Structure 1
Amino acid sequence: MNFVSTRIITTDVKTLVSFYEHVTGMSAIQYTPDFAELKTPSATLAIGSTKTLQFFGGDEVAKAAQNRTAIIEFVVKDVDAVYEKLVNFLQSHIIQKPTTMPWGNKSLLFRDPDGNLINLFTPVSPEAIKRFEGKV
């Protein structure tokens, strides 16, 4: 088994795609107006409209903008530099400025337009650097 993707269900694919393109600096692949993907070397962030729920059993399978349990995480080379670059864009979305966590990552925590938590982090302790070797 290989973990390859996380999908966000939204009522506004265009807004979320634009937001994630701005934050990551990557271009999304927009397969249809209702489905797009941001592909990284290790995993994909998929963005699907609520219309796609019909293929998975109906409207009640998932609810847009209701996440209160998951954090979508991206490892970056320098979270402080990313913060400086994005601070104006993210200003109303920031939950926590770059802060070093007890497990050795320096993390920037914010919400996307649907309220999903996003963590951009850089490993800073020797243990964390080793854990993420080759992934940054």
Structure 2
Amino acid sequence: MTVSISTVHVLVDDPDAAVSFYRDTLGLTVQNEVAREGFRWIVLSTPNQPEIQIVLSQPQAGRSKEDGETIAALLAKGELGGINFSTEDLDATFEKAAAAPGVEVLQEPVSQPWGVRDAALRDPAGNTVRIQQA
């Protein structure tokens, strides 16, 4: 039996800002976009791994009002999970990402004691994004 990653969900409060960051800044490709009941979700993938989908969706989409508000509050505090990327040029990718609107730098590029060189920031929604040198 073989198991593979197919989809990763990332919650965002502003789909347009999220698409701008993930598509225009990090270079992901929009595969699909769906609007339903006043909410949107956007499916993206990386050029090197098109089979792995990253789905951007809003906290209130498909949830009760109460659950959506709770999740939105956690998102605003930066308390939800993050996403990790790998790049061939960490310095150039970090510089571009750090300059994007709404991004907060958490850690500039540094060599970690466990052998990886990486950086960390928050996307415009507050999600932690780690980028490591490939």
> TM-score if structure 1 supplies the norm length?
0.72
Q: Name the CA shift for 1:17/1:83 in 2 (closer, same or farther; >3 Å).
A: same
Question: Counterpart in 1 of 2:27?
Answer: 25
Equivalent positions of 1:1-136 (< 5 A) are 1-33=3-35, 34-40=40-46, 41=49, 43-54=52-63, 58-59=64-65, 60=67, 63-64=71-72, 65-66=75-76, 67-68=78-79, 70-89=81-100, 93-123=104-134
Q: Percent identity over the alignment?
A: 22
- Equivalent pairs, count: 120
User: Unaligned 5+ residue runs, structure 1?
Assistant: 124-136
Runs of 4+ that moved beyond 6 A: none
* Cα distance change on mapping 1:9 and 1:69 into 2, 3 Å: closer
> RMSD in angstroms over aligned alpha carbons?
2.5
Query: Which has the larger share of strand?
Result: 2
1:29-78 deviation line (CA, Å, top 9, x unaligned): 34224011111316221101235324xxx341671325525231001112
1:90 is displaced (CA, Å) by 6.3
Q: Which structure has more RCO (C-alpha within 8 Å, separation ≥ 6)?
A: 2
In structure 2, stretches of 5+ residues that fail to align are: none
The TM-score normalised by the length of structure 2 is 0.73
